[in-house]
Amino acid sequence: MAMTFHQPDLDALPRYPLIVGDALEEQGSGDTLAHIYPGTGTVTREMRMASPADVDRAVEAAHAAFPAWRALPGDKRRDLMFRLAAVLEEQAQEMSPLLTAENGSIILAGPHMSADAAQKFRYYGGWADKIEGRTVPTWGGAAHDYVSYEPYGVVGVIVPWNGPLFAATMVLAPALAAGNCIVIKAPDLAPYSVMRLVELIRQAGFPPGVVNLVTGGAEVGEAMVSHPGIGKIEFIGSGTTAKKILANAAQMLKPVGLELGGKSAVLVFADADLQAAARRGLSGAVSANGQGCVNGTRLLVDRAVYEPYLQMLAAMAGHIKVGDPYAMDTIMGPVISEASLTRISGLIDRGVAAGGRVLAGGGRLGGELGDGYFLPITVLADVDPASEIARTEVFGPVLVVTPFDSEEEAIALANDSDYGLGAYVHTTSLARAHRVAGQMQAGQVQVNGAGEAMTPCVPFGGMKHSGHGRLGGIEGLREFQQVRNVWVNLQA
């Protein structure tokens, strides 16, 4: 029986690529974007995006709103953020199809994404009325010294296409709790969930101008980074773009927070629960259709259990249904674009040429999936850790597997990477878990896990080329606060 592909409900897609102050605007003054749904390669909507002039207006609106927002008592900010959390939960059924329409995320993931967004605003809403300073004992004379934590003013937020709602809420929740106003850029490849999020922020009762939306490409992002009215930039995306942002921001000595890419290692020791480790190892290719920055995609497996692990991994990969993202039984959808699919396919081909053994997948899916940008889970075994595919962030449903012979070798292989976002350790030995985790050059280490640690209450961020700064926990709140010290001479 022929498959019937669902198409996005065009009437349900958000209409406002710009929300500036109290105005919801159906078009900007920049370039026209034709958004493509990756499930079928068809255009969902053409919209005129923002321009640098629109960025100017958004920053002006944020500055106008800042004094009152900063002065708003913490309990009032808390209540607004709690109200927004409730609205996000109420709108979960409407938000889910937008997540699928914008980047091909499977519909099954939508409710979780909305619940996660609500949790972030609820968690940081709980901090909004607890921001306090501290006193500092001093010497050298009678004095009273104290520290206060102050907002930056206007924070510019640039989020990626692979998880726009997840990334946007990871930044907006702590930044708003800290008393900042926002100019956020929705990604041109996947704009809809951020557009709807800013609409819901208005619906929850946030004052106009506290959160402003611009939708656009690189030109809009560059205008935000170089704008003198933006006090800090928070960027989530690729290292290549981050280098440009840092060079631009350096001209103004503007602080920049970066959460970038990864090539996260998964270490599977011989004493691990192999079935659980294989299932969690597979998630590196499945989660976000393989397009997650912290996904574990570099599997390092003890040679003593190498072949059994590979057999389990290949068997499980064969049972993952790739297909219509709107279908409730689909486990994995498409990658974002034709260009991305071509790039990933080239990496796979070169990985095979370099000696990788194909255990699953290997090439683009055709037939009823041929119009979309679909790849199966691809598993390459016996991969040389020095090869391109072992060192490059593929950002697609591709796993590479390499054996190791000792704990020391596993640690060395895991750390032999330019990236340092995540690491995953599978073992039943508590001593080994702590010993190995303590040597990982990664911002987040999960033991016998595969993503469960990504909650609002824990800090998340990278080392090395995976960025700096942290989002989540009290560390995430501090990212959006400046420290002021006051010293009072008590002998004057």
| Structure tokens given for 322 | 């790739």
Closest by alpha carbon to 55, among 171, 185, 153?
Answer: 185
Encode the chain (492 residues) as per-residue pLDDT tens digits: 345 789 999 999 999 999 999 999 999 999 999 999 999 999 999 999 999 999 999 999 999 999 999 999 999 999 999 999 999 999 999 999 999 999 999 999 999 999 999 999 999 999 999 999 999 999 988 999 999 999 999 999 999 999 999 999 999 999 999 999 999 999 999 999 999 999 999 999 999 999 999 999 999 999 999 999 999 999 999 999 999 999 999 999 999 999 999 999 999 999 999 999 999 999 999 999 999 999 999 999 999 999 999 999 999 999 999 999 999 999 999 999 999 999 999 999 999 999 999 999 999 999 999 999 999 999 999 999 999 999 999 999 999 999 999 999 999 999 999 999 999 999 999 999 999 999 999 999 999 999 899 999 999 999 999 999 999 999 999 999 999 999 999 998
Burial 431-452 (b: 16+ CB within 10 A, else e): ebbeebbebbbbbbbbbbbbbe
Give the Cα separation of 294 and 460 in Å (integer).
10
Strands of 131-172 (E only): list them.
Answer: 134-136, 143-151, 154-158
Main-chain phi, psi angles of 424, to 5 degrees: -130, 130
Q: What is the pTM of this model?
A: 0.97
**Catalytic residue flag (residue 293):** yes
Task: Supply angle C-alpha 12, 17, 19, rounded to 5.
Answer: 110
Enumerate domains of the chain plus CATH numbers. 10-260+470-484 (3.40.605.10), 264-455 (3.40.309.10)
Residue where the block lists tokens 């490059």: 392
| Structure tokens given for 467 | 């960025």
Give the Cα separation of 295 and 431 in Å (integer).
25
Residues 6+ positions from 159 with CB-CB distance below 8 Å: 167, 168, 171, 184, 185, 186, 187, 194, 236, 237
Catalytic residue among 199, 293, 393, 479: 293
**Catalytic residue flag (residue 181):** no
Residue where the block lists tokens 């602080």: 255
- Please answer whether residues 50 and 215 qualify as being in contact, where contact means their C-beta atoms are separated by less than 8 angstroms: yes
Give the Cα separation of 341 and 372 in Å (integer).
10
Strand pairing of 357-360 and 296-302?
A: unpaired
Catalytic residue among 25, 259, 393, 479: 259
Q: CA dihedral defined by 453, 456, 457, 458, rounded to 10 degrees?
A: 50
